[in-house]
Amino acid sequence: MMLLKLEQDILEFINDDNNQYKKFPQMTSYHRMLLHRVAAYFGMDHNVDQTGKAVIINKTGNTRIPEQRFSEHIKDERNTDFQKKFILKRDDASMDKDDNQIRVPLSDGRRSKSIEEREEEYQRVRDRIFSRESSQNGYINDNRLSPEGYSSTSQKRRQIFRY
């Protein structure tokens, strides 16, 4: 709607032969940007005042009234060609009967996990990750790795880079 108001103000200004410039009231930076662009579209000179908050437009030799109005580019929302938006009601299949929690079915057919199931899985994984035993020299012993996989010198190098 701001564009339509700017267009109307500028058209009135162009048709007024008594004034060569028009100073608009202070406005937001977004509205100033719109006014600058609209003034350029009409072939006018456009600057800001000393405060930097108000725009001043001037008629020039290139000032023109465009053939198309902004209102011609606005589509009528009452037109039946537009698809109406409405809220879909959730079906009962997405509710778990045992705990009344909403579960979203995943793409492969499984259901999503509840918060309790996620917390349990997180705790299992955390226990598995941090269940590694620390030996007395500060090296991390991982039971999944074979002892012959690493030499003691490579373990010492790894230890140096950890600290």
Is 114 part of a structural domain of the chain? no
Tokens of 111: 């259901």
Structural domain harbouring 19 = 2-64
Is 26 part of a structural domain of the chain? yes
CATH number for the domain that contains residue 26: 3.30.1370.50
Tokens of 105: 């079915």
Is 95 part of a structural domain of the chain? no
Is 47 part of a structural domain of the chain? yes
pLDDT at 137: 46
Is 112 part of a structural domain of the chain? no
CB atoms within 10 A of CB 38: 20
Task: Report how many domains make up the chain.
Answer: 1
Is 85 part of a structural domain of the chain? no
Is 132 part of a structural domain of the chain? no
The rounded Cα 53 to chain-centroid distance in angstroms is 27
Is 57 part of a structural domain of the chain? yes
pTM over 0.75? The answer is: no
User: 3-class SS at 64?
Assistant: coil
Q: What is the pLDDT along the chain (163 residues), one digit of tens a residue?
A: 788 899 999 999 999 889 899 999 998 999 999 999 999 999 999 999 988 889 999 999 998 988 888 888 777 655 555 566 777 776 665 555 555 555 555 566 667 778 888 999 999 999 988 876 544 345 555 554 545 545 555 665 556 655 5
pLDDT at 136: 39
> Among candidates 44, 86, 87, which has minimal Cα distance to 66?
44
